[in-house]
Amino acid sequence: MFGAEENGRRTQHAVGGTSLLIGGRPAGEHGLQAPLVSILVTNLNYGRYIGATIDSIIAQDYRNYECLIVDNASTDDSREVITRKIAGDPRFEALWLDVNQGQMGGKLVALDRMRGEFVAFLDADDVWFSNFLSSHVQVHLALPLGIGFTSSR
């Protein structure tokens, strides 16, 4: 959620479409939309964690994203968990590699498929707070100079 000052009060506005505020006015009035964020997750045998990782992506309050999950030839139940979790959500796609390319190799294979203005990396055994994407997009959009990278602990 992005916050804005209106009549001296702090308010919250949903992120996405025309509800993004720029200068206190909806982005749609400026002819703008919230930028697409591409999320890239690489996985190798983290079937016990990847479900929670995907749930944390689905729970984001920033809705304008695509997510590519690269499976590096897992031999556990990762593929079944991923398939079940992303079923029916067109924002998600899985890429099944037959040979483990390593974490960076998996990312390099996937980056050419990303369409977003921003790319966010998430490890298959980590989770995000629900405002992770909106917070980072807000920082990038609010600064007068372009920032190439943000991170969090």
β-sheet bridge partners, residue 71: 43, 96
User: CA 97 to CA 141: how far, in whole Å?
Assistant: 35
Considering the entire predicted model, what is its pTM? 0.80
Task: List the pLDDT tens digit at each of the 153 positions of the chain.
Answer: 333 333 333 333 344 443 565 566 666 676 678 899 999 999 999 999 999 999 999 999 999 999 999 999 999 999 999 999 999 999 999 999 999 999 999 999 999 999 999 999 999 999 999 999 999 898 888 888 877 777 776
The angle subtended at Cα 87 by Cα 85 and Cα 111, nearest 5°, is 80
Q: Shortest CA distance to 73 belongs to which of 50, 42, 104, 41?
A: 42
Q: Taking the C-alpha atoms of 24, 25, 26 and 27 in order, what is their torsion angle to the nearest 10 degrees?
A: -90
